[in-house]
Structure 1
């Protein structure tokens, strides 16, 4: 390797601090930004990276891993025995079948498409299963291969422009459902194919609601790829908001809700940047849109509603690392009205992050247990939950360590 080449932490036996520096630079983060995320001074982080300070304990290692979105602890520590995936969950048993359906192209007319009403009913049932099942990936994973095949066939067999646009709208919705299944699984290229195909199908449909949903999901794919992609996420969100804005005075509840969900996503990304004012400003805009919706309304895809805004407030506070504020928002949020089990579990995870930020690790573990009870598939694939559980499984407090270890076994992070 040339002397001026950047060392590869995945191949070279680097020290911990060197790995932190290389991975930080690959993420496009400055030392000051990472130091802020992990709550140390830039001077302390510099000493860690230069090897002038002893390698930190497990709690700091986990915080660094979260900030750098390290997928495997071994990549950060250089220790093969610490091979633990953080932000990628285990590959679901049905992932291969879903991938095969997405990757397969039938160019002939051998597959007879179902009636439009039949496919609409199946998609409605699939979304209902996604929100109602504890093991939601299993529930939708077994439905997706035939849904993908039939939605693509419907597009191919469309005879008129109106039929094709309607079919493209259903195909976009099918890809949206697929993205929920694929997210946080070990196949990022598949996720990108689905997100981009969904956007193309939605644009071809001309359906404002389908376009809004596809933009919402594509922006999330960008944002979850790291800080260097935040601008791309914002650009997609802003373009979708501008596209929908003229329609809002007379919009249906679904269009108004997806516009509100996009507005909140702008706040979420701002919070990830630690831009407090912008984050809460977009939350306020989203909340205003939510107030225009019926009290019992619940968006069938994003879960956007009046009820969800309390959960969104917790998320903003957590991403801003405002521990006390996140706990206050958690106390105000009424989780019992969150109908979707996966979304309820996600909210519990955000609450747990807030409790840990606020120095209440025992409450954090108890809250993660509630998340597991609501939807095991959600916590099993969530990197934040996995980090907290693994960190507390190393606690010096025996009872806390035992509870965290038991939950780690239930979630499948540690062997029994």
Structure 2
């Protein structure tokens, strides 16, 4: 390798500190930022990176991996004999068929597109299945290929401008459903194709709700890509809010809900940055919007509702690393009121993160067990949950180690 070449963190014999420095730099984080997020100082990070300090304990390595959103633990440790997917799950068996449908570029049509009402009913059933099925990826993965092809046909065969706009809104919604499936799959390029196509279809539809949903998902994709993408997340998020807010006086419940969901997302990104006041201010604004919705209302895509605001409060507190506050918010939130199984599981994972921050690992593991019961396919792809389970599988307390190991087997992290 030449003197000017950038080292590859995946090539031996780089030591842990070198890998840490390369991965941290690629995420655009300073030593002080990383240190603060893992409860250490910038000088401690420098010491590890330069080899002055020894490789940290497993629990610290897992925390670093979480903060840096390391996809595979071996990317950080260099140990290729034990590969553990954290924020990237194994490829779903239906990923290939979904990818083929997304990548297709149909210029000719040999069949008639289904009626708009038929397509709308299928989408409604798909969303309902996603929220009710514990194996939600399997369910929507089976539905997506035909939905993608039929929605594309509906746009191509539209005879009037209004029909085309309606078809584009439906296509954008199909891409939104696809993004839930593609997230955390080992194909980042596919995720971005789906997100961008959904955003373009929504913009061309001129439908405020479709635009809001596509922006909501694109914001999440940017934020999950790491700190260097936070500005892009805010750009999409805040621009869409500026477009939607003037419409709110006469807005439908769905448009009000997607505006509330986007408002919370702005707070979520602020919490990732450690901006406490800004994060809670956006949460307060989102709660005010939720209070304007009917008691039983539940947004079919984002889960935004009155019931979800307690779960959102837990997320904000956890992202701000406020252990005590996250536990207090978890006690106030009632997960049973969340109708969506995957969203309920996600809330349980956030609660578990809060209990872990608060020094209650046994409660965290019990909460992760509830998450697994609600939606196994949600926790299987969640890096935060995996980090807690792997850390506690090394516990010195036999009962805790056994419980964590049993859960690790269920998640595919350890062999049975």
| 2:14 aligned with 1:27 | no
Structure 1: where are the runs of 5+ without partners? none
Q: In structure 2, what is the Cα distance between the partners aligned to 1:259 and 1:154? A: 27
| 2:369 aligned with 1:359 | no
Tell me the alpha carbon deviations over residues 250-300 of structure 1, each in whole angstroms, 9 at most, x when there is no partner: 110000000000000000000000000110010011001001001111001
Q: In structure 2, what is the Cα distance between the partners aligned to 1:32 and 1:279? A: 21
In the alignment, what sits opposite 1:167? 167
| 2:342 aligned with 1:342 | yes
In the alignment, what sits opposite 1:368? 368
Aligned with 1:289: secondary structure?
helix
In the alignment, what sits opposite 2:93? 93
Q: In structure 2, what is the Cα distance between the partners aligned to 1:197 and 1:146? A: 17
Aligned with 1:244: secondary structure?
helix
In the alignment, what sits opposite 2:404? 404
Tell me the alpha carbon deviations over residues 348-403 of structure 1, each in whole angstroms, 9 at most, x when there is no partner: 00000000000001100000000000000100011111111111111111111110
Q: In structure 2, what is the Cα distance between the partners aligned to 1:336 and 1:85? A: 30
Aligned with 1:80: secondary structure?
coil
In the alignment, what sits opposite 2:135? 135
Structure 2: where are the runs of 5+ without partners? none
Aligned with 2:128: secondary structure?
helix
User: How many residues in Structure 1 have an aligned counterpart in Structure 2?
Assistant: 416
TM-score (norm 2): 0.99
Q: In structure 1, what is the Cα distance between the partners aligned to 2:29 and 2:322? A: 21
Q: In structure 2, what is the Cα distance between the partners aligned to 1:392 and 1:211? A: 42
Q: In structure 1, what is the Cα distance between the partners aligned to 2:377 and 2:253? A: 29
Question: Once the 2 structures are TM-superposed, how far is the Cα of residue 83 of structure 1 from its aligned partner?
Answer: 1.0
Question: Once the 2 structures are TM-superposed, how far is the Cα of residue 12 of structure 1 from its aligned partner?
Answer: 4.0
Question: Once the 2 structures are TM-superposed, how far is the Cα of residue 210 of structure 1 from its aligned partner?
Answer: 0.2
Aligned with 1:69: secondary structure?
coil
Tell me the alpha carbon deviations over residues 85-110 of structure 1, each in whole angstroms, 9 at most, x when there is no partner: 11001111111111111111221021
Question: Once the 2 structures are TM-superposed, how far is the Cα of residue 2 of structure 1 from its aligned partner?
Answer: 2.3
Q: Where in structure 2 are the equivalents of 1:182-221 lying within 5 Å?
A: 182-221=182-221
Q: Where in structure 2 are the equivalents of 1:55-70 lying within 5 Å?
A: 55-70=55-70
Q: In structure 1, what is the Cα distance between the partners aligned to 2:41 and 2:243? A: 42
Question: Once the 2 structures are TM-superposed, how far is the Cα of residue 182 of structure 1 from its aligned partner?
Answer: 0.7
Q: Which runs of 4+ in 1 moved over 2 A?
A: none
Q: Where in structure 2 are the equivalents of 1:267-306 lying within 5 Å?
A: 267-306=267-306
Question: Once the 2 structures are TM-superposed, how far is the Cα of residue 114 of structure 1 from its aligned partner?
Answer: 0.4
Q: Where in structure 2 are the equivalents of 1:223-238 lying within 5 Å?
A: 223-238=223-238
Q: In structure 1, what is the Cα distance between the partners aligned to 2:10 and 2:17? A: 14
Tell me the alpha carbon deviations over residues 107-153 of structure 1, each in whole angstroms, 9 at most, x when there is no partner: 10213210111000000000000001111001111000100010000
In the alignment, what sits opposite 2:415? 415
In the alignment, what sits opposite 1:176? 176
Q: In structure 2, what is the Cα distance between the partners aligned to 1:47 and 1:393? A: 28
In the alignment, what sits opposite 1:126? 126
Q: In structure 2, what is the Cα distance between the partners aligned to 1:182 and 1:6? A: 31
Aligned with 1:355: secondary structure?
helix
Q: In structure 1, what is the Cα distance between the partners aligned to 2:376 and 2:356? A: 20
Question: Once the 2 structures are TM-superposed, how far is the Cα of residue 415 of structure 1 from its aligned partner?
Answer: 1.4
In the alignment, what sits opposite 2:42? 42
CA RMSD of aligned residues (A): 0.8
Aligned with 1:93: secondary structure?
coil
| 2:395 aligned with 1:395 | yes
TM-score (norm 1): 0.99
Q: In structure 1, what is the Cα distance between the partners aligned to 2:17 and 2:251? A: 53
In the alignment, what sits opposite 2:82? 82
Q: In structure 2, what is the Cα distance between the partners aligned to 1:109 and 1:48? A: 60
Aligned with 2:298: secondary structure?
coil
Q: In structure 1, what is the Cα distance between the partners aligned to 2:415 and 2:102? A: 33
